[in-house]
């Protein structure tokens, strides 16, 4: 009986692993649909949100990449698209000209402020069938998964 329980646990863990990828893809599709009339993408929105986390100064590409859990090149690619739309500028670091910082433009700030209610509605719709207790559990589990990845030794 114990072997059967282990098997069920592994199967459930595999389900969760696969479901995370499916959920991420479906979220991106829904988010892109919400923003498509303005020619924006969910990744561009997410990059903007990550830049806003740095209150004291414009962040570097590397700082944003680390926060997002992605590569420097991926952030630069998304940032270039925002630059083409005049939503972001690349500025050189005052102390080290090789370092690029990401600065949102006034156009960007105004656009995202207007879209804030849409974003809130998107999140509310996503979690409409999830209780506060379940949300707390999800946060706790995600924190443990992030910790596992941080502590992962090859």
The pLDDT averaged over each successive group of 10 residues in the chain (154 residues) is: 68 93 95 91 93 93 93 95 96 89 95 88 94 97 93 78
Domain ranges within the chain, ordered by starting residue? 2-149
Render 30-97 in DSSP notation, one character per residue.
HHHHHHGGGT--HHHHHHHHHHHT--SSPPBHHHHHHHHTS-HHHHHHHHHHHHHTTSEEEEE-SS-T
- 91 is written with which tokens? 């500025």
The whole-number pLDDT of residue 28 equals: 94
The pTM is what?
A: 0.82
Q: What is the pLDDT of residue 125?
A: 93
Instruction: Give the pLDDT of residue 91.
Output: 94
pLDDT of residue 93: 86
What pLDDT does residue 97 have?
A: 85
Per-residue pLDDT at 89: 97
pLDDT of residue 5: 67
What class has domain 2-149? mainly alpha
- Of 70, 105, 100, 65, the C-alpha closest to 85 is 105
Write phi, then psi, for 90 (nearest 5 degrees).
-90, 125
């Amino acid at each position: 009986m114990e072997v059967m329980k282990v098997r069920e646990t592994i199967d459930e863990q595999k389900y969760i692993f696969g479901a995370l990828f499916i959920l991420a893809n479906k979220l991106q599709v829904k988010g892109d649909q919400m923003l498509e009339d303005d020619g924006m993408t969910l990744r561009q929105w997410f990059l903007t949100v990550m830049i806003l986390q740095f209150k004291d100064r414009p962040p570097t590409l590397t700082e944003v990449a680390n926060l997002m859990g992605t590569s420097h090149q991926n952030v630069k690619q998304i940032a270039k698209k925002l630059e083409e739309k005049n939503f972001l500028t690349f500025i050189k670091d005052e102390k080290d000209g090789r370092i690029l910082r990401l600065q949102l433009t006034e156009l960007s700030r105004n656009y995202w402020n207007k879209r804030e209610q849409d974003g809130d509605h998107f999140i509310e719709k996503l979690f409409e069938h999830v209780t506060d207790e379940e949300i707390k559990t999800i946060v706790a589990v995600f924190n443990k998964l992030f910790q596992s990845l941080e502590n992962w030794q090859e």
